[in-house]
Structure 1
Amino acid sequence: MNHETLQRFYALNAAAIENVYDKPERQADLAVLRQKLPELLRGHKVLEIACGTGYWTRLIGASAASVHAIDVNEEALALARARQPANDEGGNVTFAQADAFDLPAAIGEYTAVFAGFWWSHVKREEQERFLAQLRAKLGKDVLLVLLDNVYVDGSSTVIARTDLEGNTYQFRTLPSGERLEIVKNFPTDSYLRKKLAAAVKEIRIERWQYYWLLTARLK
């Protein structure tokens, strides 16, 4: 699995990305997160990484001072722009095409960076590089917020295999019926604390049945 496979999956499946938030068993957790996340980022100048179709952008935009949401897929961004409330786009919410692994040199000044359901797609051996880039381009003391999935039997897509680095993979099906193997990791709290320790401080982690939320500050 490489970055191109992940990009292809989200490009060709953009219209269905938000369907996962319709699962009945996840509604209680999502109700909590829909309140908690806007409060965490209230008043912040937010860089949102891998915004997809903008589900969380729409929530954050209601409370943040500004949101600059980036994604590598123009297909997803087109939907994000279309779904963003008309009074926000071009105001406190803006979108741009950019690679999370290769952020523009002049990315801008932000007080917070948010990545929803992105960390799980970053291979373990690439996570330090990703964090180092955030520190180099955003600076210290910026609030980092990561939101992602907990693996739950019967609700999560079954894990197909684990590689030598400990990355886990799932098969995802495109509308055409084609199956793609996608990296999808489900880290423990101890793994997250160890992996992020060199890059961040003040780590806090909360877990619900289906999701986990990490906050910290870049060193």
Structure 2
Amino acid sequence: MKGQEWYQADAVAEEYDAKRFSKGGRLIDRREKEAVLNALGPVEGDDVLEIACGTGRFTALLAERGADIVGLDISEAMLAQGREKARRAGVGERIEFIRGDAARLPFPDDHFDTVFAMRFFHLAETPAKFLAEMARVSKRTVFFDTFNDGSLRVLYNWALPMGSHLYSRGDVERLVRDAGLGLAEEAHDFVFPYGFYREIPNAVADPIRDVDTTIGDNPVGRRLASVSYWTAEV
């Protein structure tokens, strides 16, 4: 996986949320949580697996809504942050955080109702293998996001410490088909890429976000979207 050593550093884990979801990044956090909740629907009583759970932003969110959830990540430092976040939210008993490899998930077939990954596939060097494993352990839904190769993200991709794999729609359709899944829903957003929002104050980000959503609310704008959310069914 791209940037694996960088990602696992203690200092990166400690600063991860503050660096990415402060200032205008708060808009990104809200939109991503909305996307996850919309895709997964009611989760009370469901068994859910989050791949690359990081600091547990979504893991705790879904546990608060009644899911029994496993958060898997390669970074023990990130998992430590997730455990603390779950403890503060009072949902630690609904979450199991484990260190593991997404290419070899330590679970039997059809073990979870839903499996999802956010901010993962842009780092994946073998995306087909990862998606096939997600499909194997899910008995209902697989949800993930991608960064897109027709977007403004191309212009600053070189500046990211880990780089990013950018996908076309055709790429995603092939991945989903080869994993034995059927594409059920999709959503496309953020004409202005994430890195732009993270560099501006929250008060400035709000009106720019209004412009962003207006541009994106048409076929041309959707083709320029930086990020896409994909819901697939087993």
Question: Identity over aligned residues, as a percent?
Answer: 19
Is the partner of 2:97 in helix, strand or coil? strand
Distance 2:109 2:4 in 1: 21
Summarize the Cα distance change of 1:94–1:59 in structure 2 as closer, same or farther, 3 Å threshold: same
Summarize the Cα distance change of 1:191–1:156 in structure 2 as closer, same or farther, 3 Å threshold: closer
The one-character-per-residue Cα deviations of 1:75-117 (angstroms, maximum 9, x if unpaired) are: 110111111235211x222211111112114488210001011
Correspondence for 1:15: 14
Residues 114-193 of structure 1 aligned to structure 2 (within 5 Å):
114-123=116-125, 126-136=126-136, 138-139=137-138, 141-149=139-147, 153=152, 158-160=156-158, 171-172=160-161, 182-193=162-173
Specify the code of the residue in structure 2 equivalent to 1:40: A
Gaps in structure 1 of 5+ consecutive residues = 161-169, 173-181
**8 Å contact kept, 1:120–1:185:** yes
Q: Does 1:112 align with 2:114?
A: yes
Greater per-residue strand proportion: 1
**8 Å contact kept, 2:157–2:163:** no
Greater per-residue helix proportion: 2
Distance 1:192 1:119 in 2: 10
The one-character-per-residue Cα deviations of 1:194-213 (angstroms, maximum 9, x if unpaired) are: 22222211332201114321
Runs of 4+ aligned residues of structure 1 deviating over 3 Å after TM superposition are 26-30, 105-108, 148-153
**8 Å contact kept, 1:46–1:110:** yes
Is the partner of 2:112 in helix, strand or coil? coil
Relative to the length of structure 2, the TM-score reads 0.70
Q: Does 1:34 align with 2:33?
A: yes
Correspondence for 1:208: 189
> RMSD of the alignment, in Å?
2.7
Summarize the Cα distance change of 1:197–1:93 in structure 2 as closer, same or farther, 3 Å threshold: same
Aligned residues between the structures: 190
